[in-house]
């Protein structure tokens, strides 16, 4: 069935909203970015490294959800770095804020519609792997989606991608190699691991962390997996990097607080920014 018209007006669909937002952004930035980087909690300072930058508040972009969590600036910054056009998304919407997953991944849809082919997803995560410590940077080799839903649930719009997209390589082997080469050239230790995405907003219990470790997770967080799924649905090449900002519940004899997440993110921001800059410069 078609859309129901009210007084001759056809209501806008999700696809229409994405197109409107992409057109609005395109009108302000001109040339489409080569790469987009989503910056997690406390990691937004990277956006300030872009040259010739245009900064746009999320609230000004049609249909774009706000970033309301502490440590998320809520701005789209488009500029240059290493001879490439880069879009830095300082903050993201989260499932635990009450958004549905189509809203959570709206920005990803817009980025793909703009013509971006490479997406770097970053996050602050809790360390499950006992060899990790706060400040460890972990390359995401894969993820486990335990959010209880999937952003592709519902009617599929073939204009975005296929009904059953392949997820055998969510995080690009090529981009992981680029990241590894960059880290070695910088003398930076870069861990590898599996990221578990949970609903939140409460931190996990010690029993849940033991379960996650048993099923193969090295880090845990409340984002990223939905964005990665949608990006792959649209054919984008994806890289994921977690900043281990705290050890997960039960690993250390202390409670978990968001202030610790922010403090550790601030402590590693220089090397984290250098890693991202190096990766962008090496991208073909």
Reading phi first (left if > 0) and then psi (alpha if -120 to 50, else beta), residue 129 is in beta
β-pairing, 118-127 vs 51-57, is unpaired
| Beta-strand runs (E) in 45-169 | 51-57, 75-81, 84-90, 118-127, 137-146
Task: Write out the H or E segment, with its range, that includes residue 101.
Answer: helix 101-104
The pLDDT value given to residue 246: 86
What tokens were used for 24?
């609005």
Helix axes 106-114, 14-29, angle to 10 degrees: 60
Cα-Cα end-to-end distance for the chain: 44
Identify the structural domains of the chain with CATH numbers, from first to last. Answer: 14-282 (3.40.50.1580)
Q: Based on the number of CB atoms within 10 Å of its own CB, is 67 exposed (0-12), middle (13-18) or buried (19 or more)?
A: buried
Return phi, psi of residue 158, to 5°: -60, -15
Q: Are 155 and 277 in contact (CB under 8 A)?
A: no
The pLDDT value given to residue 235: 98
What tokens were used for 200?
């939140």
Instruction: Please give the full DSSP string across 223-280, using - where no structure is assigned.
Output: SSHHHHHHHHHTT-EEEEEEEEEEEPBTTBSS---HHHHHHHHHHHHHHHHHHHHHHH
The pLDDT value given to residue 269: 84
The pLDDT value given to residue 229: 98
pTM of the model: 0.92
Digits of tens for pLDDT over the chain (284 positions)? Answer: 344 444 555 568 999 999 999 999 999 999 999 999 999 876 778 888 899 999 999 999 999 998 766 555 789 999 999 889 999 999 899 999 999 999 999 999 999 999 999 999 999 999 999 999 999 999 999 999 999 999 999 999 999 999 999 999 999 999 999 999 999 999 999 999 999 999 999 999 999 999 999 999 999 999 999 999 999 999 999 999 999 988 776 576 566 666 776 777 778 888 999 999 999 999 97
Task: Write out the H or E segment, with its range, that includes residue 211.
Answer: helix 206-214
Residue with tokens 């599996």: 194
Q: Are 25 and 61 in contact (CB under 8 A)?
A: yes
The pLDDT value given to residue 264: 78
Helix axes 173-186, 258-282, angle to 10 degrees: 100
């Amino acid at each position: 069935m078609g859309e129901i018209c009210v007084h001759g007006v056809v209501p806008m669909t999700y696809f229409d909203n994405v197109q409107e937002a992409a057109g609005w952004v395109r009108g302000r930035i001109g040339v489409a970015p080569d790469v987009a980087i989503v910056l997690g909690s406390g990691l937004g300072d990277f956006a300030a490294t872009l040259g010739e930058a245009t900064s746009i508040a999320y609230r000004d972009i049609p249909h774009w959800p706000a970033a309301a969590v502490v440590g998320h600036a809520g701005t789209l910054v488009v500029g240059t770095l290493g001879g490439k056009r880069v879009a830095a998304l300082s903050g993201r919407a989260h499932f635990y804020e009450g958004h549905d997953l189509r809203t959570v991944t709206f920005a990803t849809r817009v980025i793909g519609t703009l013509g971006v082919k490479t997406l770097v997803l970053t996050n602050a995560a809790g360390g499950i792997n006992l060899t990790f410590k706060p400040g460890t940077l972990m390359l995401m080799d894969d993820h486990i989606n335990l959010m209880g839903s999937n952003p592709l649930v519902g009617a599929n719009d073939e204009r975005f991608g296929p009904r059953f997209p392949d997820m055998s390589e969510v995080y690009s082997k090529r981009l992981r190699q680029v990241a590894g080469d960059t880290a070695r050239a910088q003398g930076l230790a870069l861990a590898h691991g599996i990221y578990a995405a949970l609903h939140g907003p409460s931190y996990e219990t010690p029993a849940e962390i033991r379960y996650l470790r048993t099923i193969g997770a090295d880090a845990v967080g409340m984002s990223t997996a939905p964005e990665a799924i949608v990006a792959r649905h649209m054919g984008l090449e994806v890289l994921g990097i977690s900043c281990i900002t705290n050890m997960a519940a039960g690993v250390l004899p202390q409670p978990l607080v968001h202030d610790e997440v922010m403090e550790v993110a601030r402590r590693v921001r220089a090397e984290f920014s250098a890693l991202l800059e190096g990766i962008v410069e090496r991208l073909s």
